[in-house]
Every structure is written in structure tokens, then in C-alpha cells.
Amino acid sequence: MKYEPILLARIHKPNSHQLEGYRADGGYAAIEQALVDKKPADVIAQVKDAGLRGRGGAGFPTGLKWTFLPKDHPGPIYLCVNADESEPCTYNNRILMEKDPHQVLEGIMLACYAIRSEKAFFYVRYEYGTAYRALEAAIAELYAAGLLGKNIFGSDFHLDIVLHRGAGAYICGEETGLIESLEGKRAWPRIKPPFPAIEGAFRKPTIVNNVETMACVTQIMRRGIDWFKSLGVPPDPKNPRDAGSYGPKLYTIAGHVEKPVCVELPMGVSLRELVEVHGGGVWKGRKAKAVNPGGLSMGFVDVLAPLKGEDGKTEYDIPLDFNGPGKVGCLGLGTAAVTVIDDQTSMVDVLHNVTQFFSHESCGQCTPCREGTGWMLKIMERFRRGLGRREDLDILVDVADRIGIIPGTTICGLSDGAGWPVKTAIRKFRSEFEEAIRKGEPSRYAKPLQMVGAH
């Protein structure tokens, strides 16, 4: 049965980004109705009961997060919308901001009403110029129409949305790094607790949600709990910590595929279906070797490795819900940005690019991350020059295992994301690295040794 998109339903319409078209399609009816017959607690309850989990990476239950705000706080309370979409090969938020910004803005209005906030900060990745301009125009339309500012829809609800352009750094996507940047400081993540819901932007209670999450809030309030829970995957009865993976999800497909694209599907679609059907298969008639299921930081899936407990299936068949990637040693679903690596691409070159990215993007605040990402890059640079050693493989895995918030050595999770692709690549494709050591040949992409450092 073919799935009919909801979050992306409007993106191919003429002028889909404009207020007039959005209102003609029923836009802003959900917030108007909520202001009439729902209390803020009712909106929180509806989002919570729908089982919406944050689409930014961690998958934390959205409605539950909203309840962490201090009760009867005099204010101000802030909402920060995280649009610093910097995870490599991820572009689902960009599609929404460029093509249907009002769907996101209505979600922001509903969220702010629910958490009793009168100011939202929309933090947009610096490189997203088109998205920034689309949002700027959409927000201006709302003010001109009297739908932002004081007494929205004649109610006692007031809201201002401040558009803020980010600083061009991956670390700004971490919620407390984003808040520090928003305050005009260096984007060094904060030690938690206190969590942002208690002490966030400008030391006031703050909720941080991402763009796709806000679009889901709009649709939950418009279509109801039953619709949202009819899609996706219910909780695993064998896992008491599983909150389910409900609703639609935007998946992006990139890398060595015939059709890089952003598609909307119910959560739980298999990795194989996403690549082979919606991505048109692997390019140039080749086969897939490895796949990132949700951005580089989630680690690698070995397409040929048997899936434990599933006869005839491989890691390529995992469901892309909040639990699926974890079953094959990946960090999680992440941003659901699927990146395909074909069977003619060297994992040495892939891992070098990964370590280069994370070493560059480490903010440098925590020693294990600052030094560990640098060490991993230096080792991979040796590998590319044909000078890798067998003991380097164990050193890389050891460093990757020892940095991050999961082993408790850093303030934020960037180093977990830096370590996961390293250890999964080496554990799953170790024979390929050992073969590179035996051959001792420079990568075809590596600079000749005498050229390193040359002007």
C-alpha cells in the first residue's frame, strides 16, 4: 500500500512557502482552535499521548520533555528551535524550511502556547541561506497578518519569533552549545545538570526541539493522536525502555545511490527498502558495502553481515526506527540520514574523511575529545599514505571506546559520534584494513608523501 506524505504534502505546490497558500490548505486552524478550546496542559497531553519522540537525533519523548519545565515559573520561558542541521548528508529540515516554513511555524506557535512561552528563538544553520530567507519572509507575513505579536487570534496569547543565524559549526547543533551561541558566546556545551528545561537560554527555563519535531506537532494537533499512532512501530514488549517509534519520518538518502532524495515514510521502513526502492539502488550498477543509517555519527551497517536471530536477513534489513540501528551496534537512528558506500570504495578513505570531519568540528573544551579525535585523524592519515600498522587498529578502537558521554569522559556527545563510526568500521571491516596494511600502498586519494606540507 502506497504511503501518502503528510509532512511533505505541500512542497511541490506553487508558492508552497507563502502564507496565503498555507491558509488555503487549512493552515493555522490548529493553533486557532487550540486557543479557543484547549488549555496549555491539554496540548502537552495530546503531544505526550501521541508518543512523539524528538526527530533531532536522541529520540526523547517530546511531550515528556515539555513537562520538565518548573511548575508556576514566573517566566520568561523560551523555546529554541534547533535548525542547525550539520550532521553530514542530512537535509530533511532544510526541505521543510525552504518549501513549507509555515507548517513548522505553526508547530512553534502550538509548542509555545503549550509551554507558556512568549518568545521563540529559531536557530538556523549559517550555510542555509535559502532556508533563512524563506523563514524570514514567512515570519514577516505572520506579523503583517497579525498572527504573531500581541493577542494572536484575539486571545491573550502573545508570541514573538526571533530568527537567529548560526555560527557555522557542527557543535552548535548540541542543545547547550546552541544556547551558548545564541547568547553570543563561544559554542561550548554546558555541563548538565542543570538541563535547559530548568536553566537554558539566558539562564531561563528553555525547551529545545528541532524543525521536524515542530512539523509533527502541527500534524498531531490537526489530525489527532489516533492518526499519529497508526503509523510507525509500537513499543517492543521485551524492552521496557522502548517508548515506541510512532508517526511519519523524513529520511534522506545520499552517497552512492542513483537518486539522492528526501522521502517521507512511516517509521520502521527497512534500510534495504529505503535504498533499493526509494533511492533507486546503488549507483553505476554496483553493490552496497556499508551504510550509515542516520548520519556519520551513528556508525556503519555491514550490508552482508547476517542479522542475528533473523534467518536469511542481513544488517541491510534492519528497520529504521529508534531501536533498529542499535541492534547491529550503531549508536541509534540519529537524523535518519542514510549514506550509502559502494563496494568499490575504500573504507580507509571513508574513515579518513570521517575522522577529519570530527577532528575539525570538536570544540576543544574536553581533553578526551580534543585529543582523541586528533589522534584518530593522525592514524588515518598514516593509513592513507600506506604506513598503517596492525596495532593501529586496536588503538583506534580503544580511543573510540574511551571518549564520549557514554563512558563519562566528556560534556557532550560529539565524541561519541566521532568514535562510533571508527569502532564500527574497524570491527565490521577489519579484514579490509588489514589488507591495506599488508599492501602498504598509498590511497589513490592521498597526496604523495613529498607533497605533504608543500606550498
- The CA–CA distances, whole Å, from 451 to 350, 385, 448 equal 21, 11, 5
Q: What is the CA radius of gyration of the chain?
A: 23
Question: If pLDDT is split at 50, 70 and 90, which confidence band does 434 have?
Answer: very high
d(CA 414, CA 369): 8
Q: What is the pLDDT of residue 241?
A: 85
The residue-averaged pLDDT of 369-378 equals: 98
Average confidence score pLDDT of the chain = 95
Query: Omega into 196 within 30° of 0, i.e. cis?
Result: no
- Region(s) of the chain under CATH 1.20.1440.230: 347-444
Residue 256 has pLDDT above 50, yes or no: yes
Q: Say how far apart CA 96 and CA 105 lie, in whole Å.
A: 10
In whole angstroms, what is the distance from residue 245 CA to residue 251 CA?
14
Q: How far apart are CA 11 and CA 137, in angstroms?
A: 17
**Cβ neighbours of residue 187 closer than 8 Å, sequence gap 6 or more:** 167, 169, 171, 172, 174, 177, 178, 180, 181, 363
* Ranges for all domains in the chain classified under CATH 3.10.20.600: 245-342
Is residue 455's pLDDT more than 70? no
Q: How far apart are CA 219 and CA 338, in angstroms?
A: 25
Cell of 39: 488549555
Using alpha carbons only, what angle is made at residue 178 by residues 50 and 67, rounded to the nearest 5 degrees?
30
Each residue of 112-128: pLDDT tens digit? 999 999 999 999 999 99
Model pTM score = 0.94
Question: What pLDDT is stored for residue 339 in this prediction?
Answer: 97
Q: Does domain 245-342 have CATH number 3.10.20.600?
A: yes
Residue 449: the pLDDT is 44
CATH 3.30.530.20 is the classification of domain 19-230: no
Q: What is the mean pLDDT of residues 41-54?
A: 97
Topology of the domain covering 347-444: de novo design (two linked rop proteins) (1.20.1440)
Instruction: Give yes or no for residue 356 having a pLDDT over 90.
Output: yes
